[in-house]
Amino acid sequence: MKNGVIVVGAGLAGMMAAIAAADEGAEVTLVDRGAIGLGTNTAMSNAVFAGVSDSYGVQEYVRETMEIGRFLNNRKKVETAAEKSREAVALLKSLGVPVGLVGTLYQVRSPDPRVISGVTLVRRVAEAIGSRPSIRVIRDLYVTGIVKRDGVVEGIEGVDSRGGSIVCRADAVVLATGGAGAMYLRNDNQKYIMGQGYHLAAAVGLPLLDMEFVQFFPVVVSGEGLPATIVYPPVHEAIRLVNSAGEDLAVKYGLGSLTDAVMKKRDELSIELYRETRKGTVFLDCRKVPGEAWNEHPLSILKLIKHDFATRPLPVAPAVHFMMGGVMTDDTCRSGLPGLFACGEVTWGLHGANRRGGNALMECAVFGTLAGRNAARFNEGGPKGVKMETVKPGTGGTVAPGGSRRSLGDIKGEIRQMAWDYAGVIRSAEGLTKGLEAAREVHRELDGFVPGSRRETCAKGDLTAAVVTLKAILTASLARRESRGSFFRDDHPGEDDAGWKKNSSLTYDPVERAFAVTHVAV
């Protein structure tokens, strides 16, 4: 019998893990609540990879990644990403992904410039998944827990498409669930990305590191009735970022070119734009962009928005984009729980206090592959394969229980507003303390909610994961009394290497439903 590997999450990290495990000879089950690839943040990305090339060496990659991360990165992970980046790009090419070098970055190019590059990326990798008979794909499976026995992972538990409870057992599990951006009022993530992986890991006793570091993408469409679309770099040289008084903000704040600011100074730009939006609307002025430029990527994507770019500036503002913290793993993707591996945004280590542009997908490609390979080799007492058991059959019913209560939609709205108000671009002790108390109240309310359908079961799970993740962010933020990278406290505005060049580590108490935080010097 072959080793059995379950991969939870079908973004680029999860798909690369599944392919690597299958190519290593394992029997693989790839599970996701939605569409493979297309339901993930990877599909919404600009499909840019930072990595080593003939003109950009290992040492330069490591130095720049560490500097942008303000030296809270796990250096071994940064070195691993650098050393394996070319191998990762070669693997993507072998899977049919049209990726090539543009300057010092690797870029996926869609044959149709109107198609987001991330869509082309996930479609090609998903095709590779479909060509491997040893990979079984299960959609519409909502994972509710990690199963362990005698201190070793045994599999996962979840809810199937009809609301039935299932347990899926295997030799190893790879967690590739993504981040938590959708728990914020303003974000550019897929709507279900609400911290499920952090909750799953914390619930089995694994520490979460550096959860205070949340990256905001500075230039995201914000007008009423307009989609929260990223303005992808490179930003055309004719485009200006202006405030309500007409001031050019790149000039005002000495940020250089908008492309460089978006790629390498996201924290500074987000803070300044957030402050500007408190005084009035910030606009992207595209009126001087020549007509032919709108047919080229990435302006061809922006052009799809129903807006008269020739006569009216486009309102923009920062939005949550990425989580730098997460589950602690080593450079082989092993977590502290034997048999559980993790990769992608759900993990900690590569990015430090801020992520450089292009490192999210390179992380997925490099560490997704490593996670899959090492999970396929994990063997405790002989291979068991993958076995799925139905614990309680479902009916797919939708009858809600009686009794008055606030709707899950109302609770979701409150969580998103709390996250934005108290754990947003600029934080303070007062706001963080208020946020923790508000999160405790919402958590208590969720505990008393009895779902009456599969949809409500999944929605309650999402919101519980979101409020637990929010508690982690707030707790770590309150403890860090400095500003660093993407993290800014207006009551502690300076970076303090002497006191705070250290990683936060959070452990969850499921009885008290609270996190305890400690700090470890880098």
Domain of 378, CATH number, reads 3.50.50.60
What integer pLDDT is reported at residue 268 of this predicted model?
87
Q: Which of 350, 367, 392 is the last residue of a domain?
A: 392
Domain CATH number, residue 302: 3.90.700.10
For residue 174, give Cα distances in angstroms to 6, 96, 247, 345.
6, 24, 48, 13
For residue 187, give Cα distances in angstroms to 191, 193, 466.
9, 10, 14
Q: Residue 87, Cβ neighbours under 10 Å: how many? A: 14
The total of structural domains in the chain comes to 3
Residue 403 belongs to a domain: no
Q: Which of 319, 337, 366 is the last residue of a domain?
A: 319
Residue 66 belongs to a domain: yes
Taken as a whole, the chain contains a residue count of: 522
- Residues 309, 336 within the same domain: no
The SS3 call for residue 138 is strand
- pTM over 0.85? The answer is yes
For residue 289, give Cα distances in angstroms to 46, 167, 238, 402.
20, 55, 5, 58
The per-residue pLDDT string of the chain (522 residues; one tens digit each, 9 = 90 and over) reads 689 999 999 999 999 999 999 999 999 999 999 989 998 999 999 999 999 999 999 999 999 999 999 999 999 999 999 999 999 999 999 999 999 999 889 999 999 888 999 999 999 999 999 999 999 999 999 999 999 999 999 999 999 999 999 999 999 999 999 999 999 999 999 999 999 999 999 999 999 999 999 999 999 999 888 999 999 889 999 999 999 999 999 889 988 888 888 877 888 899 999 999 999 999 999 999 999 999 998 999 899 899 999 999 999 999 999 999 999 999 999 999 999 999 999 999 999 999 998 999 999 999 999 999 999 999 876 777 889 888 888 765 444 444 437 899 999 999 999 999 999 999 999 999 999 999 999 999 999 999 999 999 999 999 999 999 999 999 999 999 999 999 999 999 999 999 999 999 999 999 999 999 999 999
Tell me the C-alpha distance between 112 and 109, whole Å: 8
- Residues 219, 314 within the same domain: yes
Residue 398 belongs to a domain: no
- Residues 189, 242 within the same domain: no
What integer pLDDT is reported at residue 401 of this predicted model?
47
Tell me the C-alpha distance between 340 and 423, whole Å: 29
- Residues 190, 92 within the same domain: yes
Tell me the C-alpha distance between 447 and 245, whole Å: 48
- Residues 514, 457 within the same domain: yes
E strand or H helix at 496:
none
Residue 402 belongs to a domain: no
Residue 305 belongs to a domain: yes
Q: Which two tokens stand for residue 142?
A: 């909502």
- Residues 352, 384 within the same domain: yes
- Residues 428, 388 within the same domain: no
- Residues 159, 294 within the same domain: no
Beta-sheet strand order (sheet of 282-285): 214-221, 314-323, 282-285, 240-242
Domain CATH number, residue 454: 1.20.58.100
- Residues 178, 326 within the same domain: yes
- Residues 199, 343 within the same domain: yes
Site of tokens 């079908």: 10
Residue 397 belongs to a domain: no
504 by Cβ neighbours in 10 Å (0-12 / 13-18 / 19+) ranks as buried
What integer pLDDT is reported at residue 267 of this predicted model?
84
Task: List the domain range (segments joined by +) for residue 449.
Answer: 408-521
| Contact predicate 423/473, CB 8 Å | yes
What integer pLDDT is reported at residue 398 of this predicted model?
43
**Phi-psi bin for 108: left (phi > 0), alpha (psi -120 to 50), beta?**
beta
Tell me the C-alpha distance between 14 and 346, whole Å: 11
| Contact predicate 28/138, CB 8 Å | no
Residue 399 belongs to a domain: no
Q: Which of 319, 352, 377 is the last residue of a domain?
A: 319
- Residues 202, 347 within the same domain: yes
The SS3 call for residue 412 is helix
Our CA angle for 256, 260, 266, nearest 5°, is: 100
Torsion of the alpha carbons at 185, 190, 191 and 194, rounded to the nearest 10? -80
Q: Which two tokens stand for residue 109?
A: 């190019």
Residue 499 belongs to a domain: yes
- Residues 331, 183 within the same domain: yes
What integer pLDDT is reported at residue 404 of this predicted model?
39
